[in-house]
Chains A and B, each alone.
Chain A
Amino acid sequence: MTYIRHIEHENIVHRCFRCGYCKFPTDYSDFNCPSYKAFGWDTYSPGGRMWLTRAWLAGEIETSERFAEIMFSCVGCDNCKDQCVFPKFKDFLPEIFQETRAELVNEGRVPPGVRDYFKAIAVSGNPYKLPQSERGKWAEGTGLQPYTNQEYLFYAGCVGSYDEVGQKMAKSVGNLLAQSGISVGILGNKETCDGNEVRAMGEMGLFAQLAQANIEKFKAKGVKKIITLDPHALHVFKKDYPALGGKFKVLHYTEMLAELIKKKKIKLKSYPVTITYHDPCYLGRHQQIYKVPREILKVIPKAELSEMRRHGPDAFCCGGGGGNFFTDILGTAEDSASRVRVREAVDTGAQIIAVACPNCAKMLSDAVKMEQLEDRIEVLGIAEILERARK
């Protein structure tokens, strides 16, 4: 069957010069595109994707497993958008890649891991294929109550709800929120997937369904303010839900914790440790939140913050964005993003990699094991670090 391919921004794809600035951070110290770093072919770089997309739209190359792998190996980290030297169209690069993936979804030609992810979400409501009834178990013992018109809804997301590392992170945030006395509730087993990764991977129909269901649920329950564990959820709630009628005040949990520390609702003791902070792409480059997590870490008495060479807007992704957390297209070889990142973290001399995203927490925790660095560094969510500093 021959498909007539079309993407919204196809009038831009020919304007890429494939100069390669998009592969780097600002200081050029290493390749900052996770898929290029992992695969090492120019085709897996943003410029490669632009040129191949053009060829594919023009029928010069056909849809293939490799073409799909190239497109779905993009982690949506937005480094290319920030580094591209063409101001007139740089902002559209991530959208072009997302639209190409959506077109591949329309053709039904996606990598098996992507297909399985969509199926799991569609059937089970979560990528782990676990029962909905188990979604709220992470909150047991935190003191968090079901949402019944409290001021804030705390949204844990799929990773925070089901993944062991994510659950630890969610629990710590839950503990701090509950103990600080703010009015907050959770949806527990009524919570459903936010759809950020579904959208990133181009299943627009499923995304619309998830988003609309969430919006209706939030509205029906009177939700006005949401605190998210996951920057991916933060991003989609802030960027994509409003266009579908879902306008809420959305905060990342670090923003809430910073506020609580300022108001002295969280008091910290001395915790002499060196910490390096890994910026999650969806919190940093996507939402421009760089200072808040650092401000929290800096107020811990005797804790020292030691930055990695690539940090802030130049941070190297953990490799878990754009759905790769679930599809694992980047793999776990030596040059996979998460392993590169933990080696970079160890170079700072830190004992802790602080993270603000459950996806990053899981990716980096696994990488620490793979690099056999467990005796030198551990990965902890910011709330987990605060819990230690309270003891």
Chain B
Amino acid sequence: MSDILKSLIEIVGEKGVSNAPEELWFYSRDPGVLAPHKPDYVVAPKTTEEVQKIVQLACRENIPVVPMGNGMSLAGLVIPLKGGIVLDMKRMNKILEVNPMARYVVVEGGTSQGVLKAYLQKNHPTLRHSIPDAPSATTIAANVSLHGQGRLTNQYGFNSDMVTGLEVVLPTGEICRIGSPSIGPYWISKGPTLPDLSGLFLGWLGCTGIITKVGLKLYPNKKIRDAELFVTDRVDLIPHILYKLTHLEMLEDINVWFQPKPLMFLGNYHITIFFTGDTEEEVEFKRKMVWDCLQEYMDSKDGGFMSIQYMKPLLLEMPGRNIADFADVPKGGGFEYSGPIAPIEHFPQYAAKVIELAAKYNVLYASTARLISGGHCMMYSISFAFNRNDPAMMERVEQALTEATAFALDMGGIPWKPNFKEQKMTLERMEPNARKLLLMIKKNLDPQGIMNPGNWEVNP
């Protein structure tokens, strides 16, 4: 047994470490198209102190450390590109505090979206968090560390904007609290009115530290949720429609999607409009406002509301379990997407690009855009499904996604959860002093370069 394995066992016990071929094989890959790379160890800590000791050991021995939630970014962000330790954080899954009056929750760094949802439903039914469409096993810390979005993103911004404080283990082993919990007992602000240090960790994909606790804003959970589905075949109208809808300032979420299968969806653009209320009266008022707002498109016969009687349970489900279905359309178990953040006025160009890329690479597409912060921008998902038993198809999907990211960068968009190749493409286009600042931060926080190496690596 190696000294490192012995040391890891001393920290987390035998049941918390594995270097068995089965775990090394499984934790070397994610469900996306990127090639696997094996870790040397998989370690599952249960406490912040254990994480600290693991990082201190990694520091001493110069071993890479890759923190992992459920590994569902699909972009290979937890593939240990340079080996080392994969930290499976899911055993740190306690909900530590809910402050119902201040509307925040504090959770451990491996707590899943699903468990928090269930906990709030049972114990604080008037509160909710912004549930992403990722599977329920995905973790809150991973979601904010990659600037995830969720059901409340149209109203309140990226899920990382909803953070109210962090506890992190720095790459040099110190435990550090960020925001108001660094001063006192309340997890009410990740930054303001202090210098906002949360930006040193949010969006860094685990390259600057390991998030062991997250404070997260909670929001009113209205008694009724409902949805309408507006359909048009005029892609050029989409930005205008979205602009009008966001002007209402009363909608929970707005998603735009189009896909070629089943055939009933081909050629149309679908806008799912979600709204909530505590009374039927409130809901009906919002519905009327939505209909009135889009009346002109119905008058011009450019669009209309589709009956969603049978689809409604699926549309309202959180997370949307049927989203994963796309992976099985080619009977193959996989899909991956590029998700640039872009202005809504570019929707028609992105839509054309998706169709062009799908034809060029002979792959199946689905596309969904989610509005962010009332329409300041959107996350534009360019998704391609693949058959995991068809390496050539996986290669084509990878090429299509790379081209999609290049297109997004050309259009002035920024990639969401970029893989290591897309990070390089992004850094190449970044203003030199911004790139230099990233390098300064990374070098100062992680002087040995042990945290998720291969990601956000800036060459001097």
CB nearest neighbor in B for A65: B20
CB nearest neighbor in B for A21: B135
**A residues 97-134 with Cβ under 8 Å of B?**
none
List A contacts of B328 (CB < 8 A).
15, 17, 86, 88-89
**Number of A residues with CB within 8 Å of any CB on chain B:** 35
With contact pairs A17-B327, A20-B72 given, residues A67 and B22 touching in the complex (Cβ less than 8 Å): yes
Map CB proximity to B onto A62-99 as digits: 1 under 8 Å, 0 otherwise.
10101100100000000000000110110000000000
CB of A379, distance to nearest CB on chain B (Å) = 25
Map CB proximity to A onto B135-159 as digits: 1 under 8 Å, 0 otherwise.
1111000000000000000000000
With contact pairs A14-B332, A40-B15 given, residues A29 and B115 touching in the complex (Cβ less than 8 Å): yes
Give bound CA distance, A62 to B24, whole Å.
Answer: 13
**B residues 119-138 with Cβ under 8 Å of A?**
119, 121-122, 135-138
A51 at interface by CB-CB < 8 Å: yes
Question: Are the CB atoms of A60 and B321 closer together than 8 Å?
Answer: no
With contact pairs A17-B328, A28-B117, A42-B88 given, residues A309 and B18 touching in the complex (Cβ less than 8 Å): no
CB nearest neighbor in B for A52: B22
Give bound CA distance, A18 to B328, whole Å.
Answer: 12
Map CB proximity to B onto A13-56 as digits: 1 under 8 Å, 0 otherwise.
01111111101100111100000000111110000100110010
CB nearest neighbor in B for A22: B137
List B contacts of A88 (CB < 8 A).
328, 331
**B324 partner, pick from A55, A61, A86, beta carbons under 8 A:** A86
Give bound CA distance, A62 to B21, whole Å.
Answer: 8
List B contacts of A39 (CB < 8 A).
15
**A85 partner, pick from B25, B322, B387, beta carbons under 8 A:** B322
Question: Are the CB atoms of A17 and B42 closer together than 8 Å?
Answer: no
Question: Are the CB atoms of B389 and A30 closer together than 8 Å?
Answer: no
Question: Are the CB atoms of A21 and B324 closer together than 8 Å?
Answer: yes
CB of A31, distance to nearest CB on chain B (Å) = 9
CB of B326, distance to nearest CB on chain A (Å) = 9
CB nearest neighbor in B for A38: B15
**A residues 315-341 with Cβ under 8 Å of B?**
none
List A contacts of B322 (CB < 8 A).
85
Question: Are the CB atoms of B324 and A85 closer together than 8 Å?
Answer: yes
Give bound CA distance, A242 to B15, whole Å.
Answer: 43
Map CB proximity to A onto B184-216 as digits: 1 under 8 Å, 0 otherwise.
000000000000000000000000000000000
Question: Are the CB atoms of A43 and B26 closer together than 8 Å?
Answer: yes
Question: Are the CB atoms of A24 and B18 closer together than 8 Å?
Answer: no
CB nearest neighbor in A for B387: A14
**Number of B residues with CB within 8 Å of any CB on chain A:** 44
User: When A and B form their complex, what is the total count of cross-chain residue pairs whose Cβ atoms lie within 8 Å?
Assistant: 106
List B contacts of A15 (CB < 8 A).
327-328, 331-333, 388
**A residues 184-243 with Cβ under 8 Å of B?**
none
Map CB proximity to A onto B348-369 as digits: 1 under 8 Å, 0 otherwise.
0000000000000000000000
CB nearest neighbor in A for B121: A27
CB of A135, distance to nearest CB on chain B (Å) = 39
CB of B454, distance to nearest CB on chain A (Å) = 21
List A contacts of B324 (CB < 8 A).
17, 19, 21, 85-86
List A contacts of B39 (CB < 8 A).
none
B280 at interface by CB-CB < 8 Å: no
Chain B CB within 10 Å, residue with most, of A14, A18, A43: A18
Map CB proximity to A onto B92-114 as digits: 1 under 8 Å, 0 otherwise.
00000000000000000000111
Question: Are the CB atoms of A85 and B122 closer together than 8 Å?
Answer: no
Give bound CA distance, A2 to B324, whole Å.
Answer: 37
List B contacts of A62 (CB < 8 A).
21
Give bound CA distance, A51 to B23, whole Å.
Answer: 11
Question: Are the CB atoms of A28 and B112 closer together than 8 Å?
Answer: yes
Question: Are the CB atoms of A66 and B20 closer together than 8 Å?
Answer: yes
B271 at interface by CB-CB < 8 Å: no
With contact pairs A15-B328, A20-B137, A41-B18 given, residues A60 and B25 touching in the complex (Cβ less than 8 Å): yes
**B residues 311-348 with Cβ under 8 Å of A?**
321-322, 324-325, 327-328, 331-334
List A contacts of B70 (CB < 8 A).
20
Question: Are the CB atoms of A29 and B119 closer together than 8 Å?
Answer: yes
List B contacts of A43 (CB < 8 A).
22-23, 26
**A41 partner, pick from B42, B137, B389, beta carbons under 8 A:** B42
Give bound CA distance, A20 to B112, whole Å.
Answer: 11
B424 at interface by CB-CB < 8 Å: no
Map CB proximity to A onto B144-186 as digits: 1 under 8 Å, 0 otherwise.
0000000000000000000000000000000000000000000
CB nearest neighbor in B for A16: B333
**B residues 383-414 with Cβ under 8 Å of A?**
387-389
List A contacts of B15 (CB < 8 A).
39-40
Question: Are the CB atoms of B25 and A61 closer together than 8 Å?
Answer: yes
CB of A239, distance to nearest CB on chain B (Å) = 26
List A contacts of B23 (CB < 8 A).
41, 43
Chain A CB within 10 Å, residue with most, of B26, B118, B119, B328: B26
Question: Are the CB atoms of B26 and A42 closer together than 8 Å?
Answer: yes
B217 at interface by CB-CB < 8 Å: no
B274 at interface by CB-CB < 8 Å: no
**A61 partner, pick from B22, B114, B388, beta carbons under 8 A:** B22
B286 at interface by CB-CB < 8 Å: no
B44 at interface by CB-CB < 8 Å: yes
Question: Are the CB atoms of B115 and A52 closer together than 8 Å?
Answer: no
**B residues 13-44 with Cβ under 8 Å of A?**
15, 18, 20-23, 25-27, 31, 42, 44
Give bound CA distance, A314 to B324, whole Å.
Answer: 21
CB nearest neighbor in A for B134: A19
Give bound CA distance, A70 to B23, whole Å.
Answer: 11
CB nearest neighbor in A for B70: A20
A–B Cβ pairs within 8 angstroms, 23 of them: A14-B389, A15-B328, A15-B332, A15-B388, A17-B327, A19-B137, A21-B324, A23-B137, A24-B114, A24-B137, A28-B113, A29-B119, A41-B23, A41-B26, A41-B44, A43-B23, A48-B26, A52-B26, A60-B25, A64-B21, A64-B22, A85-B325, A86-B327
Chain B residues near A (Cβ < 8 Å): 15, 18, 20-23, 25-27, 31, 42, 44, 70-72, 88, 90-91, 112-115, 117-119, 121-122, 135-138, 321-322, 324-325, 327-328, 331-334, 387-389
- 7 A-B pairs with least C-beta separation: A28-B114, A20-B137, A29-B118, A19-B135, A15-B333, A17-B327, A14-B388
